[in-house]
Structure 1
Amino acid sequence: MQKKVVILGGGESGAGAAILAKSKGFDVFLSDKGLLHQKYVDVLIRENISFEQSQHSEAIILESDLVVKSPGIPDTVPLIVALKEKGVEVISEIEFAARYTNARLIAITGSNGKTTTTLLTYHLLKNAGLNVGLAGNIGESFALQVAEKDFDFYVLEISSFQLDNIVDFHPNISIILNITPDHLDRYGYDFQNYIDSKFNIIRNQTEDDYLIYFTDSEVLTLELDKRKPAVKNLGISLEEVLSTGSYLLDQNLVSHINGQTFEQNFSQLPIMGPHNAINALAAISVAQLLGINQDKIAEGLKSFTNAPHRLEEVEIIDGVTYVNDSKATNVDSVFYALGSFNQPVVLIAGGVDKGNDYSQIEELVRNKVKGLIVLSKSFEKLKDYFSEVVPQIYTTQDIQDAVNKGKEWSDPGDIVLLSPACASFDLFRNYEDRGDKFKAAVRNLISQ
């Protein structure tokens, strides 16, 4: 009898999982409580896959043999609880896709820097001529690529939500860039629960595999000391010289791996800031582990273009540089953003607070920020915390108003930085929408 697979959630990962399941001979049903995007409706109809939208038909779902769920659905919702009580296996799309590929997997997680590191690692591998796919929390669905393509390697950006529902997912190389408080509303406001989720990335790794991690992070070093995993560890540091591993020394990225030494002047690269030094060292480490030659690594680093909304320079107007860092949805991201500039900063921050602790950036804000513009419906927490820290605070719910105030407060040589420390969905659809509207508002200044 044909095994029945239900896909919960019909976005990129769900549609891809449905196509992979059908290609493997399963009886597939996709269910989404919301409205499906038309492009996914078209795909499902074309592939002759049964689906529903705007509801979950629980009687049908509970009769499944396997459920592949969207990362956005918490394990605590009643339907997932009922499935697990019935003994139905509930897994993530990355787990499902990994079951059907023999490709070597490079999996990257962390509270910050995942996307840049994933894109840079992919770029270095592809530039060196490797047959490599890019997937996970970025780009085209991992499951869809496994169904339709035949890559030798995958570089995967992996969120904690995706790691919550793995069973056998086994990266050959894993990277944990950092773990700082984020998404605590999903993890019962218990930081250890979030740490445990991130560390699922090494759960199935063996002594034949590698973990690349940031040794300057006390959270990571303590956790590794506690767990003592079998995987081979490779460190990254901004503070110390490592005999094996990668580090930043006098603005040079240095990596000693597999008996090879690689060096590159960081200031010559198209990315900036200490967080991007960490990201670059992680990507270099992967390239060295895979035997990519030094010239190809250097070439790839110099030709890399980062994704938008990550310390993206928008315009220089009257000597003031406007920078879009809308992807900075937590405090740690803002810490690295402020640390990237020596000039005075007018900071635009705010949005949906996820239990933020602003003490982490208090000293940086005191020393660097000449004015704070809170762009949010709920401005009280930020305003109250920094009222004695910065000389001036302005609150608004209009991004053009925020940018205009940034222009008013800034002088030639200053930075006007959108780095919100918060989620975007009080005023915007997502962080991309927020960043795009910031860029448009900046460019409106030119015509004023």
Structure 2
Amino acid sequence: MSVKLPSETIFYVAISVCPYYKHCHLERAPTLRPAIGVWLNVSPDHLDRYDSYDDYVATKAKIFAQSKVIIANADDKQVKNYAKPYHHCVWFARSNEQADYYLCNGEVMSRGKRLFSMTDFAQIGTHNADNVMAVFATAALLGVDEKVTAKACQAFIPLPCRTAIVGERHGVTFVNDSKGTNIGATVAAINGIDRPMILLVGGQGKGQNFSELASACQQRVKQVLIFGQDSEIINKAMVKNNIPCRQVNDLPAAVNAAIKSAQPGDVVMLSPACASFDMFANYLVRGAAFEQLVKEYLDE
């Protein structure tokens, strides 16, 4: 679908709205009317603050009702179901060539035209293609030339703690994904990196069901190192699904254990699937602590 917005203004502001607390953000912004509303995905999160997962999803879906044009991920079942009733919708998907934007052999495509190679993007993981496709869709609606968008994506400097490569030693790559504060984010990071992995998880679980995380660990995760407030809950889910795992006291202990276990070709990734507030002020502080520990090892 091709939709062009009128050029009524020169400046556009991009904001992230998230139902972090019940009766907050979208619930408290009924007059918010975005020119473009983008919904990338949804997975269980903040269930300690919502009556149910359906309640959480319905809150996120308000972005569609309040936006003039929407951009939706056709690969996400919940997002797709909520987007279907809207005619002014631009679709993206990783494998569906019927979508307005799709991925083919690592290339972002639209109507058979190559737009951008994900090898030119600074963040690892195929899940980051969702973000790039959403960027191309948004930019096109705003009348930005595709070549300009491609150059911007190539020059993009990632924010901290989002599948960021910290360094490599002895063939082992260390990745900081401390922003992975829920199971869905961590599962996406795992699925996006096609290498054997040692995964560091833990913190405040927020009432999540960690069986989904355990299932995602079955193919390429060699070991899960678990720390933090809800480590026992996470450990039980891993053991139940026969995932090699070990509980440790804290993040430094997890990093040390990962260093001892890692072999050339492995990825050691911090993607906790939990909130950080049991041990750290926020996910940024947690990520910085991980990077400091890794850099001390790299500098030895």
The answer to whether TM tops 0.5 is: yes
- 1:198 is aligned to 60
Gaps of 5+ in 1: 1-101, 105-130, 132-151
- 1:144 is aligned to none
Contact 1:376 1:395 in 2 (8 A): no
* Corresponding position: 1:237 with 2:93: yes
Q: Which has the higher contact order (CA 8 A, sep 6+)?
A: 2
Once the two structures are superposed, the pairs formed by residues 52-201 of structure 1 within 5 Å of their partners are 152-160=11-19, 161-188=24-51, 190-201=52-63
Aligned partner of 1:277 among 101, 106, 129: 129
Measured after TM superposition, the shift of residue 360 of structure 1 is 2.4
Contact 2:72 2:83 in 1 (8 A): no
> Between the two proteins, what is the percent identity of the paired residues?
28
Aligned partner of 2:246 among 361, 384, 394: 394
Aligned partner of 2:107 among 252, 262, 270: 252
Aligned partner of 1:317 among 166, 169, 178: 169
Letter in 2 for 1:440: Q
Measured after TM superposition, the shift of residue 432 of structure 1 is 0.5
403 and 222 in structure 1: CA distance in 2 versus 1, 3 angstrom threshold: same
Q: Deviations over 1:159-194 (max 9, x none)?
A: 124111012110111101112111122212x11211
- 1:425 is aligned to 277
| Number of residue pairs aligned between Structure 1 and Structure 2 | 290
Letter in 2 for 1:211: I
Bigger CA radius of gyration:
1
- 2:70 is aligned to 211
- 2:258 is aligned to 406
Letter in 1 for 2:129: A
Q: Deviations over 1:251-287 (max 9, x none)?
A: 110134xxx9552222222223222101100000011
Aligned partner of 1:264 among 116, 139, 147: 116
Q: Secondary structure at the match of 1:373?
A: strand
TM-score w.r.t. length of structure 1: 0.61
* Corresponding position: 1:293 with 2:145: yes
Q: Secondary structure at the match of 1:154?
A: coil
TM-score w.r.t. length of structure 2: 0.90
Contact 2:107 2:117 in 1 (8 A): yes
Contact 1:370 1:390 in 2 (8 A): no
Give me the whole-angstrom Cα distance separating, in 2, the residues matched to 1:348 and 1:388.
Answer: 18
103 and 185 in structure 1: CA distance in 2 versus 1, 3 angstrom threshold: farther
Runs of 4+ in structure 1 deviating by more than 3 angstroms, as ranges, are 388-392
Letter in 2 for 1:158: V
Aligned partner of 1:371 among 208, 212, 223: 223
Give me the whole-angstrom Cα distance separating, in 2, the residues matched to 1:272 and 1:415.
Answer: 12
239 and 418 in structure 1: CA distance in 2 versus 1, 3 angstrom threshold: same
Contact 1:327 1:419 in 2 (8 A): yes
- 2:4 is aligned to none
Contact 2:172 2:266 in 1 (8 A): yes
Q: Secondary structure at the match of 1:186?
A: coil
Q: Provide the alpha-carbon RMSD of the alignment.
A: 2.0
